[in-house]
């Protein structure tokens, strides 16, 4: 009686040798490995770096090594975690500007920019899923989940590096539209309050005004004013987490609909329309404009995102403002 042959054993995992191209040059080796070894635990990535199993140009390197174009990287055999993260569904968003270097979209309210903290995926994962042939796609900066408006992504690493340098040097000009409660008085007001970032016992990221915190500066310009509300343009001079929200709340002018730092009683009232105004069911904070130097052409570019319909309807429902500055 013939016996069945043993099933073939799984082929042994082999080391990979990757030549670094222009798009991957300039980034740290640990960040590169974390990106390309999807499903591999972070602790394992750092273990193979410490052990010297990862080699660049046949030599040992540490986790701070920055890759250069033409580097030959040896990646040892690694097994992905048994339970891979759920894949993001592909999605596209309203495009405000796109060329070979940049993609600028109008992010809707309620959509996270990336996965994490209980969120499976965000804008960046969805865009990568919908553009599988894109060699490089990274967020230039972040927006809070409840903030809508201009969101910039880089399609080349050189563009990402250039734009980060512009942001560090104060070249970029980012403007937001926001609606606050209270009687705002000044046509133009500078708020400089140091901000401290911390995490609550529940794991929620929060920011407070605190001596010794990060230096932070926002300039607010009054656009329209009603008896209980004011429409402001916020100009970021620094780019701290929740900067606009905390600067306003700490100054006595909470953003309407802000569920972290806002006036919670007022927010509940605004959920329903009354005889004097319509309803507002979101945070009224919108990234409406960015001005920057194009990383390739060197020309100054300004990109605008229109105020979302739900915010525009709320403004119209308030009637004629007491004061219209511009």
| Active site (catalytic) residues | 144
Q: Are 147 and 121 in contact (CB under 8 A)?
A: no
Q: Are 103 and 95 in contact (CB under 8 A)?
A: yes
Beta-sheet strand order (sheet of 55-56): 16-19, 72-75, 55-56, 59-60
Tokens of residue 88, six digits: 């993001």
User: Given phi > 0 = left and psi -120 to 50 = alpha, else beta, which region is 281?
Assistant: alpha
Tokens of residue 59, six digits: 């030599």
Tokens of residue 311, six digits: 């915010």
Among 118, 114, 75, 111, which residue's Cα sits nearest to residue 93?
111
Cα end-to-end distance, the chain, whole Å: 94
State how far the Cα of 107 lies from the Cα of 286, in Å rounded to an integer. Answer: 9
Q: Are 253 and 184 in contact (CB under 8 A)?
A: yes
Tokens of residue 153, six digits: 């992504």
Total Cβ atoms within 10 A of residue 149: 26
Q: Are 238 and 207 in contact (CB under 8 A)?
A: no
Tokens of residue 232, six digits: 């402001």
On the 0-12 / 13-18 / 19+ scale of CB atoms within 10 A, 155 is: buried
- Element of type H or E holding 188: strand 188-192
Among 179, 309, 184, which residue's Cα sits nearest to residue 244?
179
């Amino acid at each position: 009686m013939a016996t069945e042959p043993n099933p073939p054993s799984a082929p042994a995992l082999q080391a990979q040798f990757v030549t670094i191209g222009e798009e991957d040059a300039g980034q740290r080796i640990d960040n590169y490995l974390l990106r390309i070894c999807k499903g591999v635990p972070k602790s394992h990535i750092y273990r193979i770096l410490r052990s010297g199993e990862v080699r660049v140009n046949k030599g040992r390197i540490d986790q701070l090594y920055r890759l250069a174009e033409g580097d030959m990287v040896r990646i040892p055999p690694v097994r992905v975690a048994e339970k891979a993260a759920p894949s993001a569904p592909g999605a596209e968003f309203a495009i405000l500007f796109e060329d070979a270097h940049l993609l600028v979209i109008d992010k809707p309210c309620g959509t996270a920019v990336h996965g994490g903290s209980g969120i499976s995926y965000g804008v960046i994962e969805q865009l990568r899923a919908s553009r599988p042939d894109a060699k490089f796609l990274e967020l230039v900066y972040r927006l809070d989940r409840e903030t809508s408006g201009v969101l910039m992504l880089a399609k080349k690493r050189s563009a990402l590096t250039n734009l980060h340098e512009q942001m560090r040097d104060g070249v970029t000009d980012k403007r937001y539209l926001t609606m606050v409660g209270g009687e705002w008085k000044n046509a133009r007001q500078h708020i400089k309050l140091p901000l401290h970032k911390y995490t609550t016992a529940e794991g929620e990221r929060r920011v407070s005004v605190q001596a010794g915190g990060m230096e932070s500066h926002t300039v607010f310009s009054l656009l329209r004013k009603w008896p209980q509300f004011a429409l402001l343009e916020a100009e970021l001079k620094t780019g701290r987490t929740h900067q606009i929200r905390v600067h306003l709340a700490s100054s006595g002018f909470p953003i309407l609909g802000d569920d972290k730092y806002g006036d919670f009683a007022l927010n509940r009232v605004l959920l329903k329309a009354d005889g004097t105004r319509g309803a507002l069911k979101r945070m009224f904070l919108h990234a409406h404009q960015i001005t920057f130097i194009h990383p390739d052409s060197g020309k100054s570019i300004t990109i605008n995102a229109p105020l979302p319909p739900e915010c525009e309807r709320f403004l119209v429902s308030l009637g004629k403002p007491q004061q219209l500055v511009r």
